[in-house]
Amino acid sequence: NAGVTQTPKFRILKIGQSMTLQCTQDMNHNYMYWYRQDPGMGLKLIYYSVGAGITDKGEVPNGYNVSRSTTEDFPLRLELAAPSQTSVYFCASTPSPSGSTDTQYFGPGTRLTVL
Amino acid sequence: KQEVTQIPAALSVPEGENLVLNCSFTDSAIYNLQWFRQDPGKGLTSLLLIQSSQREQTSGRLNASLDKSSGRSTLYIAASQPGDSATYLCALNTGNQFYFGTGTSLTVIP
């Protein structure tokens, strides 16, 4: 299993540009998450999905959009990039979050800089 | 809203020392609590998961405890090694969402 993969690893955007961060998992997990991590801070939840076709907002959803057309893929879309979106973005998945022994599996992250 | 705090923010210890990392939270309605390790430029790796009904979990030199009534968890690392140098984060599972602390950056000096 490759686990959770993310592309690209690094990206520099200009203000106002748009891009899609890709996330794929091959563990057949229902739940997928997008987090951002700012320097010296913990992870903040952007969006999550409980299964194909179902998404919901997390703590910091403004400026982002997601879709979940398949179990494997959960792309994150930035429509009008702003400097405040400079961060490291992590995708994660888990079989079932309320399962008491289920951990989250994380991708390696995408480092995004908006200039 | 769940607030998760980790103290200290940074810690530097000589090799071989035992150490304790702290995690406090405001809402005890959780399914489980996890401790993760993050190496520079990498994703997160799960170390230990404590279920809501448990008091502690152990894996090798690591021991994590959970006291929901006081809103605290500790991660105990025995006989620290330079390879333990990393950032350690705790995360609370409240159902559909996970809340992360800001992390403790650990440096173990050879």
Contact status, residue B7 vs residue B22, Cβ threshold 8 Å: yes
Q: Write out chain B residues lying below 8 Å of A59, CB-based.
A: 97
Phi, psi of A85 (to 5 degrees): -95, 5
Share of chain B above pLDDT 70, in %: 100
Q: Which of B44, B53, B87, B94 best tests the A interface by mutation, with the highest count of A CBs <10 A?
A: B44
**Which pLDDT does position B91 carry in this prediction?**
93
List the 50-69 stretch of A: residues with Cβ below 8 A of B.
50, 56, 58-59
Phi, psi of A83 (to 5 degrees): -55, -30
Residue with tokens 């200290």: B8
Helix (H/G/I), strand (E/B), else coil: A85? helix
Cα dihedral sign, B80-B81-B82-B83: negative
Q: What is the pLDDT of residues B44-65, one digit of tens each?
A: 999 999 999 999 999 999 999 9
**pLDDT above 80 (res B24):** yes
CB contact under 8 A, A40 and B102: yes
The whole-angstrom separation of Cα A17 and Cα B47 is 38
**Which pLDDT does position A2 carry in this prediction?**
80
**Which pLDDT does position A98 carry in this prediction?**
65
**Which pLDDT does position B89 carry in this prediction?**
96
Q: How many CA atoms lie within 13 A of A102 on its CB side?
A: 20
CA–CA min distance A18, chain B (Å): 24
The whole-angstrom separation of Cα B7 and Cα A105 is 25
